[in-house]
Structure 1
Amino acid sequence: MPAPERIPPRSVTVVDLLTKGELTVRGRIREASNAVLYCSVVYEGMEAHCVYKPVAGERPLWDFPDGTLAQREVAAYAVSEETGWELVPPTVLRDGPYGQGMCQLWIEPEAEGAGEPLLALVEDEEPGDGWKAVGLAEVGEGRTALLVHADDERLRRLAVLDAVINNGDRKGGHLLPAPEGRLYGIDHGVTFNVDDKLRTLLWGWAGEPLTPEVLEVLARLEDALAESAPLATRLAELITAAETDAVRARVRELRRTGLHPSPSGQWPAIPWPPV
């Protein structure tokens, strides 16, 4: 697919472009389980490429209300923006050619091999320097290997965001390294459940102390989630009151323990397929 125009990824103009621009479908991303359409969007002389996921193309899930995945993606963006980490590409809820849906700025990934790898399988029993162990994985013919992820501050921040939004599907394919050292997380439809659904490949810091930076961000998030605060008001437009209360509870618990969460043992800890 052609690269999008270079547009400042965090300007208000990008949000206006995604919200008000004319969408034209250019193709479909067939690997996705739900309808994911690759589009161009034009507004007042500006143009970019984006992903459009119409609510009408969402497959029903047993543990999430029908027709709510697009709103959850937008809510994930709202929380990401409040952290200041800018881990989720600009994402809006709008009408499109196939009805209401999520529209997200297309981020062209860096060329394969251009940056340091984020995930790996190693035959050693312990991760090497610069790596964190996730767990053993079957690699065929009765053999196993250790799945590891990079000990990377960008991934660590993403692990915290996932814990806050209760991400049930943090696969390797949902990590999007971008030029200039940026890292984005995408595909946040199965988030914000009131029950513990955290499934991720980023368990390497489980049980370890949160960094001072993270604790500061969590304190800011708790303030932003207070009744009538801007983030709480925005989430009320996108998810249920009970789900917003659950976000508040997860932030409070992270601050209370001061630790990265560990798998609960009551839910598969790693998504399938992992990539």
Structure 2
Amino acid sequence: MSERELTLLVEGRVELRGLIPRGSNAAFLVRVSRGDDSVYAVYKPEAGERPLFDFEPGLHRRERAAYLLSEHLGWGIVPPTVIREDPPLGVGSLQWFVECDFREHYFTLYADSPETHRRLLQIALFDCVANNTDRKSGHVLRGHDGRVWGIDHGLCFSAGFKLRTVIWDFAGEAIPGTLLEGIAGLAETVPQDVAELLDDAEVTALQRRVRRLLHDGVLPVDPTGMRYPWPLV
């Protein structure tokens, strides 16, 4: 993504356009404008979060941490995401809105588009590193330009192992060497801008997960068949 896009998210005026339906937490489609330039984004205010027993309030920080982690890896999985204090409903995350065909999602991409499989495997690995608790099929989008994205990362980075995902088609497969090389540095050092959005136990757990992936060299298998989010899409 370009500097223009990040500048819009950081500096643009935020105008609520409507509530995005069917989410567990409140999420809004917003128009972000700066001068004559504008774009749509998804705004997730902390004030709209449903209380959770296993995650502290402030899921927007995890949305931002996932974006930063993706950028540090050079994988570009997560659309540009910033934290803003000044939108209409208070502090929350703003994420670039992916223009796409919403009839497509992980299940359709895996079944109908074999050329996306390497990207989908990469997203599966990212979710293992980030400990994604909520990778629904509808959280995988293909933009109109053909690029495949992952969205909705508010339930990531727990210190306890909580992986829940629909992406089990690559379970047990060897992780490509280039991807292992990409995550290797995280075993020793988590980038500061990611670490400061998490607590110490979560940072340590991220490093532990990476070491396990490097040791095993394969994507994990779910022997229970229970590690799925709900609903699936």
Q: Relative to 1, partners in 2 of residues 1:40 and 1:151: Cα closer, same or farther, differing over 3 Å?
A: closer
- Equivalent pair of 1:157/1:214 in contact (CA under 8 Å): yes
Q: Secondary structure at the match of 1:152?
A: helix
In structure 1, what is the equivalent of residue 204 of structure 2? 245
Q: What is the CA-CA distance between 1:222 and the residue it aligns to? A: 3.7
In structure 2, what is the equivalent of residue 217 of structure 1? 182
Map residues 164-203 of structure 1 onto 2, 5 A cutoff.
164-203=129-168
Q: What is the CA-CA distance between 1:187 and the residue it aligns to? A: 0.8
Q: Secondary structure at the match of 1:184?
A: strand
Amino acid in structure 2 at the alignment position of 1:268 = M
**Structure 2 gap segments, 5+ residues each:** none
- Equivalent pair of 2:41/2:95 in contact (CA under 8 Å): yes
Number of aligned residue pairs: give it.
230
- Equivalent pair of 2:44/2:92 in contact (CA under 8 Å): yes
Q: Relative to 1, partners in 2 of residues 1:111 and 1:261: Cα closer, same or farther, differing over 3 Å?
A: closer
- Equivalent pair of 2:188/2:207 in contact (CA under 8 Å): no
- Distance in 1 between residues matched to 2:200 and 2:10, nearest whole Å: 25
In structure 2, what is the equivalent of residue 156 of structure 1? 121
In structure 2, what is the equivalent of residue 52 of structure 1? 43
Larger proportion of helix: 2
In structure 2, what is the equivalent of residue 257 of structure 1? 216
Per-residue displacement from partner, 1:107-147 (whole Å, max 9, x unpaired)?
1114747xx93255xxxxxxx995xxxxxxxxxxxxxxxxx
Q: Secondary structure at the match of 2:91?
A: strand
- Distance in 2 between residues matched to 1:151 and 1:46, nearest whole Å: 32
Q: Relative to 1, partners in 2 of residues 1:31 and 1:213: Cα closer, same or farther, differing over 3 Å?
A: same
Choose which of 104, 123, 128 in structure 1 pairs with 2:95: 104
Per-residue displacement from partner, 1:3-52 (whole Å, max 9, x unpaired)?
xxxxxxx1123222111111000111121111111100012432111010
Amino acid in structure 2 at the alignment position of 1:47 = S
- Equivalent pair of 1:83/1:221 in contact (CA under 8 Å): no
| TM-score normalized by the length of structure 1 | 0.78
- Distance in 2 between residues matched to 1:12 and 1:241, nearest whole Å: 31
- Equivalent pair of 2:172/2:221 in contact (CA under 8 Å): yes
In structure 1, what is the equivalent of residue 3 of structure 2? 12
| TM-score normalized by the length of structure 2 | 0.91
- Distance in 1 between residues matched to 2:184 and 2:171, nearest whole Å: 20
Q: What is the CA-CA distance between 1:220 and the residue it aligns to? A: 4.0
- Equivalent pair of 1:91/1:104 in contact (CA under 8 Å): yes
Choose which of 71, 74, 77 in structure 2 pairs with 1:81: 71
Choose which of 70, 78, 82 in structure 2 pairs with 1:92: 82
- Equivalent pair of 1:178/1:184 in contact (CA under 8 Å): yes
Whose Rg is larger? 1
Amino acid in structure 2 at the alignment position of 1:106 = F
- Distance in 1 between residues matched to 2:103 and 2:48, nearest whole Å: 30
Q: Relative to 1, partners in 2 of residues 1:264 and 1:45: Cα closer, same or farther, differing over 3 Å?
A: farther
- Equivalent pair of 1:82/1:221 in contact (CA under 8 Å): no
Per-residue displacement from partner, 1:129-187 (whole Å, max 9, x unpaired)?
95xxxxxxxxxxxxxxxxxxx87111000000000000011111111111222011111
- Distance in 2 between residues matched to 1:201 and 1:52, nearest whole Å: 25
Choose which of 27, 30, 42 in structure 1 pairs with 2:33: 42
Larger proportion of strand: 1
Are 1:269 and 2:230 counterparts? no
- Distance in 2 between residues matched to 1:185 and 1:81, nearest whole Å: 13
Q: Relative to 1, partners in 2 of residues 1:111 and 1:189: Cα closer, same or farther, differing over 3 Å?
A: closer
